[in-house]
Structure 1
Amino acid sequence: MEVGWNHNQQPAEDGSTDRIDVHIEVLVKSESTARRSEVRTHVLALLDRHSLIIGSYKWTEFDDEFLTKNVEAVAVPLDLKMNNLCVHIFSLNDDGPSTLNLEEEEELSAANHWLLPAAELHGIWESLIYEEAIKTHLLDYVSTAIFFSDKNVDSNLVTWNRVVLLYGPPGTGKTSLCKALAQKLSIRMSGRYSYGQFVEINSHSLFSKWFSESGKLVTKMFQKIQELIDDKEALVFVLIDEVESLTAARNASQAGTEPSDAIRVVNSVLTQLDQIKRYPNVVILTTSNVTEKIDLAFVDRADIKQYIGPPSASAIFSIYLSCLEELMKRQIIYPRQQLLNLEELHTMGYIESDVTALSLYLQRIAKKSVGLSGRTLRKIPFLAHALYAKLYVRASQVHPHQTRSSMSLWSCFVLLSSVMLEQERIFPKLFPQSWKNTIVQNVLVLKH
């Protein structure tokens, strides 16, 4: 069954109805001409043969010739036993974002527009690591909003606005999470909607010099968005990034430091949002770096106000782990060595041994990295290699070409930990001499 929300839950063998929906995502090759129903049949047969899988798993190689020919990957997020299988078959749109221009002002980019699922956004959801169940809660919220709309629930009696506000410091992945959420829902809701539309409004451009008649131009921009919403086969997501800029403009206008045109822009945007949120196939996503500057009237419009903060030590460990797995996969780190996740370390009691040593060292690096944003964390392996690899070559007396093509996992840990030695968060003065001395000492220690 291909659904976004399983309302016809079947009882388990013991008669209970507490089986969990497991969403199986099947990425079809772009050149495939196979019918979706045929793909689903083969995927269900594959899952039936491997129903004892424990934990998340992703197939990229198959024991079925049909799947090898037509399917790129099958992703399974949870145990298959005793669960309801919801199979979502999709292909990716290879076109990049298009620019949504206003007819009178072709030079003004009012918004960017993606057709979902988009190849450019594939994999972002999995790369975002947060505490608790933030991503699951956001998925459940939108699924519930669409479910209530499909059931024609009277919104005057039970109110929901289809507005999500993500707030928190810069670099924590708020915008990426909005894009990933839209991508994920366009896949999960593929049985309900044929495709997704994603519009990212450039809020800063709303106050540029081009908006001398801003109110009319904002209205025209939303008319274009309305054309997308009118297609009932499409699930439409509208993102307003850094929404605090709207409120800041209104406050500045009231204080007399901005032209009155600015307040017309804000009021026009809020009015248009109130108009489109009435439609069952639209979701409005907003982000803010500074919550104190958001208009209370706008905050009240949001059904979910979710704080997105810097990752914890455990989340940082998972981020680093995914980075190192990728570098080992590409043989930048070689030979491949096993790294345990935190659940496996917990099972082993965090006792140091030959099996756990590498993973425990990575955990110590993760604890030293607390306070850094997710954006910075994913840059650190690249920066460590780019800025320290030559120094490592000189200290370890390894042939430069050999080291540039691959390095051991221990060597990479030395580079990572050296980056984290200083507590200053933005690599001060392009690595002072003390850092360079430390990495040389670390490498020499490892050699002996």
Structure 2
Amino acid sequence: MDSCQILALQNALPVPPDGHTGMNGTTIDCSCYHVEVLQSPYSTVRACILKDKIKALLIAKKTAFGDFTIEEFPDEFLKQNVISVSLRDSELPGVEKKVIDLTSCELQIHIYQVHTDGAGAEELDEENLIAANHWLLPSSDFQGMWESLVYDEPIKTRLLNYASTTLLFSDKNVDSNIISWNRVVLLHGPPGTGKTSLCKALAQKLCIRFSDHYSHGQLVEINSHSLFSKWFSESGKLVMKMFQRIQELMDDPKALVCILIDEVESLSAARKSSMNGVEPSDAIRVVNALLTQLDQIKKYPNVLILTTSNITGAIDLAFVDRADIKQYIGPPSTRAIYSIYLSCMKELTKRGVISPTHQLLDIRALEVTRFIENSATVYSLKLYNIASKSQGLSGRTLRKLPFMAHALFLRGSPVTLEEYLEAMSRTVDHQFKEREDFKDH
């Protein structure tokens, strides 16, 4: 591996913000930023040419206020070859935005195209049971998913740093007998908090950030429940067969392979049942076969194992020991819910469902006003109150709620922001009532 490739890997790491203060007191950020360029599926222009064009475009823009996306371009070349240019390095809701000096900061430009084929199914036996889903990355299925996930802590940056270091240490040929790492991430927490989505979004983001190093990515989502199906009388052999197929993907050094095991506590359930004599001993063989395969994968520099669990206490300790990072993903706070709802309202306004007559403030701007109601904050405060009473709803429900608001209480488009917020408030009440009714019956 040459020095340019090593430098590309190091530059893929998120860089802590740094900057200086301008004459007017505004913080000018001059640190490193990642710019993601979505190339048209019909474009055959080389990445190096596009990078030069995009860099010239950004320098001409001179400054930016926080993250931005450009979808309209001044010249015909960019119009024909580029769909969007995005700088998206901010993560926490409410973090103060900085003026970014695009002429002096370091810009890492990542060119990528998305695959639109969707997921393929891996079938391992004559029963045609699906043992895994398989995506070629970057995929249109996961486009925008990373940005839609909102947390109060820098969880996404933490995971990016971990994955980047994992790949960097491998490419540096660090002796794993001296410094050990297993390439395993475990996300745990209650259902509906976005753990699986975060795994898929992370795989997509890594393929984009490391596009100079890996030509494409592979995401294999293993169906744990299928592995322990009663139809599988020889499950251990089927696990071996599945990993033989994964092996073929890992043998390509230009492919970044991410293996996702959802609800990994199924491994523990199978082993416990087997030891108690509840299930056939074949169940424990499939667990052992899977753990053995995960151990063998460690020698491949281009692989990352992503796992999730809804029941932390049920996870097999033999697996927990293999996880480098054990990250808790909890329910979103009011601030995070507000940011989620705000992104939904902006999308509905952009698409013409909500009339663009009023502007909502981001959470940071709302906090600066100390939540004092006036003509500029009135609608933002209504949305914040809706977010406050939404606590307890899952992230999955929060993203669905704007749709349900329209389906239950509104008709046609466009509608005013005030009408939509009223419908949102009624829908939150409706969600909690549905939950109580379900418990009672």
Q: TM-score, normalised by structure 2?
A: 0.89
Distance 1:54 1:291 in 2: 41
Structure 2 residue runs of 5 or longer lacking an equivalent are 21-28, 90-98
Q: Cα gap change, 1:323/1:295 in structure 2, threshold over 3 Å: closer, same or farther?
A: same
- Indicate whether 1:65 and 2:76 are aligned: yes
Write out aligned runs for 1:224-243 (5 A): 224-243=245-264
**2:80 aligned counterpart, secondary structure:** helix
Equivalent residue number for residue 197 of structure 1: 218
- In the alignment, is residue 406 of structure 1 matched against residue 414 of structure 2? yes
Are the counterparts in 1 of residues 71 and 83 from structure 2 also a CA contact under 8 Å?
yes
CA-to-partner distance for each residue in 1:302-358, whole Å, 9 max, x for gaps? Answer: 000000011000000011111111111122212442111011122333221111111
Q: In the TM superposition, what is the alpha-carbon distance from 1:242 to its structure 2 partner?
A: 0.3
Gap change, CA 1:29 and 1:169, over 3 Å in 2: same
In the alignment, structure 1 residue 171 sits paired with structure 2 residue 179: no
- 1:328·1:336 contact (CA, 8 Å) conserved in 2? no
Q: Distance in 1 between matches of 2:325 and 2:424?
A: 37
Structure 1 residues 351, 4: closer, same or farther in 2, change over 3 A?
Answer: farther
Q: Which residue of 2 aligns with 1:116?
A: 137
* Equivalence for 1:162: 183
Alignment of 1:215-294 (within 5 A): 215-294=236-315
Q: 1:22–1:80: 8 Å Cα contact kept in structure 2?
A: no
Measured after TM superposition, the shift of residue 191 of structure 1 is 0.8
Does 2:383 match 1:362? yes
Query: Which of 36, 42, 56 is 1:25 aligned to?
Result: 36
Secondary structure in structure 2 of the residue aligned to 1:379? helix
Structure-2 change in CA distance of 1:257 and 1:369 (3 Å): same
**Counterpart in 2 of 1:6?**
11
SS of the equivalent of 1:306 reads strand
Query: For residues 67 and 413 of structure 1, do their structure 2 counterparts lie closer, same or farther at Cα, with a shift above 3 Å needed?
Result: same
Decide which of 50, 53, 57 is 2:61's aligned counterpart: 50
2:26 corresponds to which residue? none
CA distance in 1, matches of 2:119, 2:150: 25
Q: Structure 2 CA distance, aligned partners of 1:7 and 1:298?
A: 29
Q: 1:377 maps to what in 2?
A: 398
Alpha-carbon distance in 2 for matches of 1:333, 1:323: 11
Q: Which runs of 5+ in 1 are unaligned?
A: 390-402, 431-448
Q: 1:404 corresponds to which letter in structure 2?
A: G
Q: 1:90 aligns with which of 81, 96, 112?
A: 112
Alignment correspondent of 2:25: none
> Aligned equivalents of 1:302 and 1:19: distance in 2?
36
1:106 CA drift (Å): 6.2
1:262-293 deviation digits (Å, cap 9, x = unpaired): 00011111111111122110000000000100
Secondary structure of the residue that 1:73 maps to in structure 2?
strand
In structure 2, give the amino acid aligned to 1:161.
N
- Provide the aligned C-alpha RMSD in A: 2.2
In 1, distance between residues paired with 2:126 and 2:289? 18
Give the partner amino acid of 1:62: F
Aligned-partner Cα distance in 2 for 1:248–1:121: 30
Match of 1:329 in 2: 350
Partner of 1:392: none
Residues 1:172 and 1:425: Cα distance change in structure 2 (over 3 Å): farther
Aligned length: 411
- Tell whether the 8 Å contact from 1:117 to 1:195 is kept in structure 2 after alignment: yes
Look up the SS of the partner of 2:65 in the other structure.
coil
TM-score, structure 1 as length reference: 0.88
State the distance in 2 between where 1:22 and 1:290 align: 37
Contact persistence 1:372–1:425 (CA under 8 A):
no
What is the one-letter code of the residue matched to 2:184? V
Aligned AA for 2:417? L
For 1:423 and 1:333, the matched residues in 2 are separated by: 22
Separation of aligned partners in 1, 2:303 and 2:258: 6
In structure 2, the CA distance between the partners of 1:421 and 1:98, relative to structure 1 (3 Å rule), is: closer
Q: Among the aligned pairs, what percent are the same residue? A: 57
Offset at 1:7?
8.4
Q: Which residue of 1 aligns with 2:92?
A: none
How many angstroms apart in 1 are the aligned matches of 2:34 and 2:356? Answer: 34
Q: Which residue of 2 aligns with 1:213?
A: 234
Q: Indicate conservation of the 8 Å contact 2:19/2:31, yes or no.
A: no
Question: What is the Cα deviation at residue 198 of structure 1?
Answer: 0.4
Q: Deviations over 1:345-403 (max 9, x none)?
A: 223332211111110111111111111111011111111211122xxxxxxxxxxxxx4
Q: CA deviation at 1:4?
A: 4.4
Indicate conservation of the 8 Å contact 1:214/1:261, yes or no: yes
Paired with 1:420 and 1:13, the residues of 2 have a C-alpha distance of: 42
